């Protein structure tokens, strides 16, 4: 049974929501003041928190900001204000959803169930990536380009996977060196550059003017998403 914290200063509305959610199999704790909610969430984290925006002493936005760094369960906001600013602000500070009063009980139930299902799904690791005719299988450690197998060393494969995970985003030599070599870049070690050069050759890049693994001056190396 999932535990839900409802922070709502309208006692009548809070009772209606609590009774409805209990009828649908939830354990519900109700608080009416925002300052009490911060301590409660930190000490007894609920599976999901529903926060009214306008609360006495501490508002819902402030509660969210105060707990979000350590509380990773879903947070839903309730408000009577239908304002784009409030919507944006709520999402920017870490809310997962936003409902405008008056609340349709079955809509609230659906939103809660959706958020709890998403929270319970394990994050699936990425095992393969593809860009045009380039296919990379992490599990089998296999690389194909235009339906041809590309033979890579272990170090070359790790470098390609690292760049492919961040395709379209330059990765600094310092970052690559730390990930590949396991220590900070000292400004002299050229092992990353050598591996990039070898990888470019095996992936049929233009060594004079690389367009598949691009050098972004001042930023590092980047795998193109579109050059395959």
What's the pLDDT at 172? 84
State the pLDDT confidence band at 129, using cuts at 50, 70 and 90: confident
With a cut of 60, say whether residue 121 has pLDDT above it: no
What's the pLDDT at 188? 62
With a cut of 60, say whether residue 108 has pLDDT above it: yes
64 burial via Cβ count (<10 Å: 0-12, 13-18, 19+): buried
State the pLDDT confidence band at 107, using cuts at 50, 70 and 90: confident
Q: Return the CATH fold of 3-120.
A: Rossmann fold (3.40.50)
Share of the chain above pLDDT 90, in %: 32
Q: Would 3-120 and 128-223 be classified into the same CATH topology?
A: no
- For the chain, the structural domain boundaries read 3-120, 128-223
- The lowest-confidence range among 32-36, 46-50, 142-146, 184-188 is 184-188
Q: Has this prediction a pTM greater than 0.75?
A: no
What's the pLDDT at 40? 93
State the pLDDT confidence band at 3, using cuts at 50, 70 and 90: very high
Could you please report the per-residue DSSP string of the chain? Answer: --EEEEE-S-HHHHHHHHHHHHHTT-EEEEES-HHHHHHHHHHS--SEEEEESS-SSS-HHHHHHHHTTT--S-EEEEES---HHHHHHHHHTT-SEEEESSP-HHHHHHHHHHHHHHHHSPPPPP-EEEETTEEEETTTTEEEETTEE----HHHHHHHHHHHHTTTS-B-HHHHHHHHHSS---S---HHHHHHHHHHHHTT--SSS-SSEEEETTTEEEE-SS--
With a cut of 60, say whether residue 84 has pLDDT above it: no
For the domain spanning 128-223, the CATH number is 1.10.10.10
């Amino acid at each position: 049974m999932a535990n839900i914290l409802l922070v709502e200063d309208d006692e009548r509305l809070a009772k209606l929501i609590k009774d409805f959610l209990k009828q649908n199999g939830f354990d519900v704790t109700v608080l009416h003041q925002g300052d009490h909610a911060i301590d409660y969430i930190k000490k007894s984290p609920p599976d999901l928190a529903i926060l009214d925006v306008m609360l006495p002493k501490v508002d819902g936005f402030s509660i969210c900001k105060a707990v979000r760094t350590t509380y990773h369960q879903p947070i839903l906001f309730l408000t009577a204000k239908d304002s784009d600013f409030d919507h944006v602000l709520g999402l920017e500070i870490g809310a997962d959803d936003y409902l405008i009063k008056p609340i349709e009980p079955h809509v609230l139930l659906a939103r809660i169930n959706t958020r709890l299902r998403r929270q319970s799904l394990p994050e699936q690791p990425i095992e393969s990536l593809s860009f045009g005719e380039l296919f990379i299988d992490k599990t089998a450690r296999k690389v194909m380009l235009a339906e041809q197998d590309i033979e890579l060393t272990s170090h070359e494969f790790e470098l390609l996977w690292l760049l492919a995970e961040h395709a379209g985003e330059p990765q600094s030599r310092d970052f690559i060196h730390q990930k590949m070599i396991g220590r900070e870049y000292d400004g002299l070690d050229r092992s990353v550059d050598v591996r990039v050069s070898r990888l470019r050759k095996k992936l049929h890049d233009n060594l004079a003017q690389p367009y598949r693994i691009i050098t972004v001056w001042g930023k590092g190396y980047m795998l193109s998403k579109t050059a395959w």
